[in-house]
Every structure is written in C-alpha cells, then in structure tokens.
Amino acid sequence: MANSVRGKIRISDPFITLLDSVKLFGNILANDSAFTGDSGFRFQVAPACTNGHIIRFTLECRDANDSVWNSNIILRVGAPRLEYAGLTVVDTAAGGNRNGRLDPQESADLIIALRNVGFGNAANVSAVLRSGDSRLTVNDSTGTYGLIMPDSSRENRADPFRVSTGLIPPETRVPCTLYVSAQGGYTRVIPFTILVGEIRACDPIPDTGGTSISYWAYDDVDTLYTKHPQFEWVEIRGLGTRLTLSDDETRQINLPPQFGPFIFYGQSYNQLSICSNGWLAPGYTSVNTWSNTSLPNNSMPPLLAANWDDLYPPTGNGVWYYHDTAHHRFIVEWDSVHYFSPNTQWDKFEIIIYDTTVSFGDNEFRFQYLTANNYNSNTVGEQDPSLTRYIQVCYNGSYHRGAAVLSPGRAILFTPDGPQTGLAEPVVEERRLHRLNLTVMPNPVSGKAQIAWQLPAPAHVRLNVYDAGGRLVRNLLNTEMMPGSYQTFWDLTDGNGKRVANGIYLYRLETKDRTITTKAVLLH
C-alpha cells in the first residue's frame, strides 16, 4: 500500500501556465486507484497556442516513505479552425435569373459553407463578407452560423449574404474576404474568390480581348438560350458557283449589291476572300496560310475559320458560294474537300453569313458541319480586324469549356446578341424581317429610351419591354398602325410608375405575323 500519496505535475511549455499543480490522493491500496476529485490539477493554455498542439505533463507521485513514481500525461489542444468550404448562389428572388450562378448584372443571395477542421467547437460563429472589386456590391454583408462542431460544416442558409453585380465580363474571378469570429475571441480572415459569369458547355462563348463583348458564339447544345441555332444544312453544290481552287489558294469575290455589306466588328466589307484551307476573310487578302494556329494570330487577316486546316480542294467536290436572296444569306461550302494529309480523309462544312436585315449592327454568321471525319488538328473560331479580339471554339482538339465537340449536325451561330433565357425566339424565317428595323437609343440607356421602328404594312402592333428573365415590365404600345416610320419613348418606369432597376432589358415588337426583339442596357 502507498501511504499518503501526494501528486505534483510539472511541464516546460511556453503555452502552458500551471495554476494548481499539487493534489493529495491519500492511501492507495494494492491493485486499487485514487482520484483527485472534481477539483483536479488546473492549468491555462495561452491564446496563441495552435490547434493540435501536444501538451506533455510529468506527474510525480510521492508517498510518506519517499517512494517516487513518475508518469507521463499527454493532452492535445483542441481549438476551432474554420475554412471556406463552398458557395451556393440562390438567384430566384427579384433581380436573379434563376440559373444557380452569379452572372453579370444580377442580384442574388450567397450561401457560404464553413468547415471546422480543428479539434475544438466553434460556438456563435458569424462572418462579414467584403468584396475586392467595386463591380460586385455587397448589399447584406453579415451572416450567422451558430455552432460548428469539429469535422463538420455549416452554412448561413438562414441568414445569407446578398450581392449584386454590375457590368463585369463573364468568367471574372472576384476576390472576396470573409472576416469570421466565434465565441472565446476566435477570429480568422478567409480569402476566396467568386466566379461571375461562369461558362459551361451549355453556355455561349463571348469574344475575348476587349472591354465589352461584340460577338457571342452559340452552338446547338446551348438550348437554354433563345439564340441557340438548330442544324439546318443548306446544300449549294450545283446551285451556286464553284471556285476552282488549287492547293493553298485564296480567291476574292464581290458580295452581291442585293446582299449589302458584311459588317464585322463595326467595319463594313463588300468583298470576301475565300481560302482553300477552310477559312474566309472579310475584305481583300491574298494570305493563304495552311498551317493553323491558335487565335488571335497577328499574321493573319480578320477571319472566319470554320475548319482551318491543310485542305486540298482539287480532291473532292470543291468550294462553292451562293447568294440565297429569299433567306437573306450568303453561303460558302467546302464540299467533301479532302485533307492534304491524310489525303483519304475529307469533310463537308459551310459558312452562312446573314445580311444586315437579320441582326442590328454586326452581321450574324453560322458554321455548320455535315460530317466530322478529321477535326483533330484544326482551328475553329473568328478574330476581328484589330487582330486582338477573338472567339476560339477549338484548337488542335482542345475545346473552349463553352463549346460542344464538333460532330455531324453541329451548328455554331456567331451573333452580336447577348444571352437571353426568358423569351422564346421566333422561328428562323420570322427573325429575318428587315423592314421592321427595331432600334433602341442610346445604348446604354439613361434618362429615357428612344425606340424606333419601321412598319411595312398595316398591322396591329404591340410593343413590350421585358427584363432579362423574360418577365413583362411595361407595355408601351397596343394599337392599329399604318405603314411608316415611328418612334416612341419609355420613361424607365414599370406599369405602376416605379423606376426600374439597372440591367439588360428586351424590347419586343409584335404584329400578327412578324416579331422582332432587341436589347439595351439600362444604367440610371
């Protein structure tokens, strides 16, 4: 038996202060144990001690006969450590487009998850959100989380942050900071980024290189958007004019006066230069480069590259062009043109350019692919006259994340019209109503919007304004009208006289058999 046992703990650790280091255990019988009681040894851990720090105590027990026993006591400090664990965008309320992402010119709630990777509880957790970019405004900066236990996560779903974005380019990563605090004086600064305008395979591709976007590329899988094309092959072999192109040759042709100019990034062209190697250039060029590169390429002219590769038109059915006046389009087709190597492979594809009656401003154009036999080492896309702005759909088999892989039946529409998800687009023929010519000025709109149009025949006319989500904001006109040129003004209020918010608005002019829609940005 050990008589009158006294215990004393010792430690050499800068983070530990002993407050009560001596306890009496009394007599301890053989094969028995003793307990200090509820009032045990006491020590204090410094606030600077890190999560997971190992505390190593030595317990010295001495009895009345001066017998000494030493034992080691090892403890681990359990402190909370909170980390960013993910973001959920809730954009179902007013100002949101309900696609679960944060897009330019949108308002949304942000639910941010925090994970406790420490060994201690984090109680009464709250956070303050700050944006590092003035184009992302934090309207509600505080969020509460409550208790976050070790190895668990929690969201501020009951108290979300609220943000709104301005005119910010798609695919912009905005630096943000969470200032987190918890009970007991715990604080942490957590940096993270918010991706605005994330592009997925089912989204259009914006052009790159400028402060604003002039062209978007929609392929046929972008079905959430009203401008997504449907594959509609137009065969012009035997109908149009065949160009007897040799290997690596570019031929210049004049656009028909009935077609009008090809307006590309604001520049007007009356010629096309068609290259045997699967591309054409607006205007005049004698460049005939066969070796494709990534875009932009400052040694190339402005170009539309449907399948820029080393092609050999003498083998196959040649290159054709045709002006389809009935449908307001000019078509260039590479008809089963073989590759230089391997010369047994060939592909059939076309470029369709729509005249200025189809879109407002720059011309729309479309790439279509009837086959997909050898799209392995090509370039698909376009670049502007300054050779700095471009859309690269793919290069040598590497695709933009917003692009679908080239396959038979693929269609890609290049248009100045930005994404619209709320309004159903009229059928193809109804889109090409050149005499309506609906315009909105100025753009961006401030003060009031001036809306002008031409009416080719007597009709009942409706003129409505919708927000970017397709919700009706204001009916401006609903009456019978005679042919002529007209204009009206919108004072930027809704039907109840309330000033509307900044953002993209859609202006839709409808008659019994004709419809046209255009858009403008509103900045008060």
Determine if the peptide bond prior to 442 is cis (ω within 30°): yes
Q: What is the largest CA-CA distance in the chain?
A: 119
Which residues, in sequence order, are CB contacts of 497 under 8 Å at separation 6+?
none
Lowest mean pLDDT among 95-99, 384-388, 391-395, 448-452: 95-99
**Between 153 and 517, whose confidence is greater?**
153
Distance CA 304, CA 322 (A): 17
Mean pLDDT, residues 99-114? 92
pLDDT above 90: percentage of residues in the chain: 65
The predicted pLDDT at position 430 comes to 37
CA–CA gap between residue 228 and residue 203 (Å, rounded): 9
pLDDT in tens, 139-190: 999 999 999 999 999 999 999 999 999 888 888 999 999 999 999 889 999 9
Confidence of residue 92 (pLDDT cuts 50, 70, 90): confident
| Residue burial 16-50, b: 16+ Cβ < 10 Å; e: rest | bebeebebebeebeeeeebeeeeeebebebeeebe
In this model, does residue 251 exceed pLDDT 90? yes
Minimum mean pLDDT range among 118-127, 328-337, 487-496: 487-496
Predicted model pTM? 0.63
Just give the CATH number of 82-196.
2.60.40.10
Region of poorest pLDDT, from 3-7, 425-429, 484-488, 496-500: 425-429
Tell me the C-alpha to C-alpha distance, in Å, between residue 21 and each of 6, 300, 415, 465, 513: 11, 82, 79, 79, 93
Main-chain phi, psi angles of 158, to 5 degrees: -80, -15
pLDDT score at 437: 67
Please, are residues 331 and 322 in contact by the beta-carbon 8 Å criterion?
A: yes
Q: Which CATH class is domain 432-522?
A: mainly beta
What the block records as the tokens of 344 is 């047994």
- pLDDT above 60 (res 465): yes
pLDDT in tens, 343-375: 999 999 999 999 987 766 799 999 999 999 999
Q: Where are the domains of the chain?
A: 2-76, 82-196, 216-415, 432-522
Asked if the model's pLDDT at residue 299 lies above 50, the reply is yes
The region of weakest confidence among 13-17, 186-190, 464-468 is 464-468
pLDDT for the residue 4 = 87
What's the pLDDT tens digit per position in 422-456? 444 443 333 333 445 688 878 778 788 888 887 87
What's the whole-number mean pLDDT along residues 193-220? 90
Q: Is-same-fold flag (82-196; 432-522)?
A: yes
Beta bridge pairs of residue 62? 6, 68
Kindly tell me the burial class for residue 127, based on how many C-beta atoms sit within 10 Å of its own C-beta (0-12, 13-18, 19 or more). buried
Predicted pLDDT of residue 79: 86
CA pair distance 195, 102, nearest whole angstrom: 7
Q: How much is the pLDDT for 159?
A: 96
Residue 215 has pLDDT above 70, yes or no: yes
Reported in sequence order, the residue ranges of 183-266 that DSSP labels E, i.e. its strands, are 186-196, 205-206, 216-219, 241-243, 250-254, 262-264
For residue 515, pLDDT beyond 70: yes
